[in-house]
Amino acid sequence: MLQILQKQLDESTFCPLCQASMYYVEAEEFEKEVSFHQCSHCNHQVFQNNQRNCHCETCQSKRRKLIKETRLQETRKLKKKDNFELGLDQLSFLHKLFLLSILDNQVHENTNHQEFIDWEVIKYHPITPNYYFQSQLLNQLIKDNVFVAKDFSDDAHQYYINVRLDGYSEPSMFSIATQLRHWFYENLSQGIPFKTSDEVKNALYVVLYQEIVQFTQHYCRTWGIQISGNKNFQIFCYHLLDTLAVGQIFYLIQTALEYLYQKKALQVRNENFINTNILKKTVQQYRERAIAEKWETSTLPRPPNIPLSRMSEILFYRFLGYDEGIFFQPVWKSWKKIEPRLNFYSQKRCMYCGSNELTVEYDAQNYVTLFCRSCKHQDHYFTQ
């Protein structure tokens, strides 16, 4: 316990935290002399040779944070020993697509890049159609231990990619990006990023639905009104996608929003999804009336002032080989053209014994070779 003997204001010395003038304090503890500076504003104490700890509020807060981060670091180290490292090929099609959408503009052979993802730098880039969807994908990859925080803190925003590639741990960002580009950009000639064609179809529905949410949010933003998707709205939009083109859904939503805004039925804040639920109900009524009275639903093109996300561009234009036409016809019609080719690559069986235990070799341009591990039969399929 310090016993203060003398305390004088030293206007030549300033606090390193708040820059206020400091007191020079002479004290005694257990018959030993102790001298130090103490801030006249925040009570921060500076001892000679760092022989003691300061107990001001700022220093105590720093120590609490350091203890918390140390415990978090120890917990993650223990978890890391137990966690299995996923192979890049084991990720879902949607997560591979999301990962490529992040890396494609950042990682190139002829440019410098970091070996981690700095989320604070890129989080507002048009990676996915809307920000909430982007956050969902990010949090899921963190939960699956695919993204591992670089810093041991609660607000970490830099992540290493924790996957195996070709059996090796800790592949470089360039190696990961290159493999993903082979899968998505090489017309399926250097491997496939999906297990079944249904996995691609599900991702197509998800991304088209997120495009609808993006359109809705963009339209409401001009009025300063909040809106987002929810589970019921998603299910409803999936039903619409079975029979209508995305452009027709855009038209229904635009018409409904204009009507609701004129009637002042929309709230500024979307609390308890009030705006989402009102919009869903209104569009549903329009659709039911259109079917009953056999209306022709107009098609609205995708507004050019809404940025096209990297995810949508890769999926629609690069991987599936479509153009703006993906927005002008129902999913079933697009899928009729897409599915046969995907099934050929995903549903492979030996022509001789019917086994699906196959080793697949892809030529860079021309053919696929299937080698049966059961009966050793070999088949060649030309892709051009």
CA–CA dist 216, 146 (Å, integer): 31
CA–CA dist 137, 128 (Å, integer): 10
Within the chain, which residues score under 50 in pLDDT?
Answer: 364
The token duo for 213 is 């949410």
Which pLDDT score, from 0 to 100, does residue 268 have?
95
Sequence-distant (6+) residues with CB within 8 A of 269 are 226
pTM score, whole prediction: 0.74
CA–CA dist 28, 42 (Å, integer): 22
CA–CA dist 342, 192 (Å, integer): 9
CA–CA dist 337, 55 (Å, integer): 70
Give the CA distances from residue 259 to residues 254, 265, 266, 279, in Å, rounded to whole numbers and listed in that order. 9, 9, 10, 10
pLDDT digits (tens, 9 = 90+) for 286-313: 999 999 999 889 999 999 999 999 999 9
Pairing type for strands 45-47 and 32-39 reads: antiparallel
Which pLDDT score, from 0 to 100, does residue 346 have?
77
The token duo for 242 is 């079975």
Nearest-CA neighbor of 241 among 193, 199, 283, 191? 283
Which pLDDT score, from 0 to 100, does residue 238 have?
97
State the distance between the two ends of the chain, measured CA to CA, in whole angstroms.
Answer: 86
pLDDT digits (tens, 9 = 90+) for 90-137: 999 999 999 999 999 999 888 888 899 999 999 999 999 999 999 999
pLDDT digits (tens, 9 = 90+) for 140-159: 999 999 998 887 655 678 89
Which pLDDT score, from 0 to 100, does residue 71 have?
75
Which pLDDT score, from 0 to 100, does residue 229 have?
93
Nearest-CA neighbor of 198 among 98, 342, 311, 5? 342
